[in-house]
Amino acid sequence: MILAVPSTCANVLCSKNTVCKMVNSVGCRYGNSPCKQYPVCLPHSEFSSIAYKYFPNYRTCDAVKCKAGQKCVLREVICITTPWLVTSYPQAICENSCPPNEQWRTCPTRCELTCKEQQRNSAPIRRRVQMLNALLQMFVLWLLLTIAEKIAPSIPDVSHQVISGMGDCIDNICTRGYCSADETCEMQEILCIIAPCWPIPTCIPSTNKCLKPNEMYRQCPTKCERSCTNSNISCRPICKPACQCKDKWYRDPSGNCVQNCSTAAREG
Query: By C-alpha distance, which of 237, 236, 239, 233 is closest to 251?
Result: 233
Q: Which of 74-83, 139-148, 228-237 has the lowest mean pLDDT?
A: 74-83
What phi and psi, each to the nearest 5 degrees, are found at residue 137?
A: -65, -40
pTM value is 0.30
Contacts 24+ apart (CB under 8 A), 218-223: 218/242, 218/243, 218/244
Average pLDDT score over residue span 87-105: 69
CA separation for the pair 255, 222 (Å, rounded)? 17
Angle 159-49-11 (CA atoms, 0-180°, nearest 5)? 100
pLDDT in tens, 250-268: 888 888 899 888 765 555 5
Domain ranges for the chain: 9-96, 207-268
Could you tell me which CATH number the domain at 207-268 has?
A: 2.10.25.10
Confidence category of residue 166, pLDDT binned at 50, 70, 90: very low
CA separation for the pair 102, 96 (Å, rounded)? 11
Q: Which of 100-109, 119-128, 229-238 has the lowest mean pLDDT?
A: 119-128
CA separation for the pair 150, 168 (Å, rounded)? 27
Residue 96 has pLDDT above 70, yes or no: yes
Confidence category of residue 156, pLDDT binned at 50, 70, 90: very low
CB atoms within 10 A of CB 251: 23
CA separation for the pair 63, 94 (Å, rounded)? 12
Beta-bridge mates of residue 19:
42
Please report the pLDDT score of residue 153 as a whole number: 47
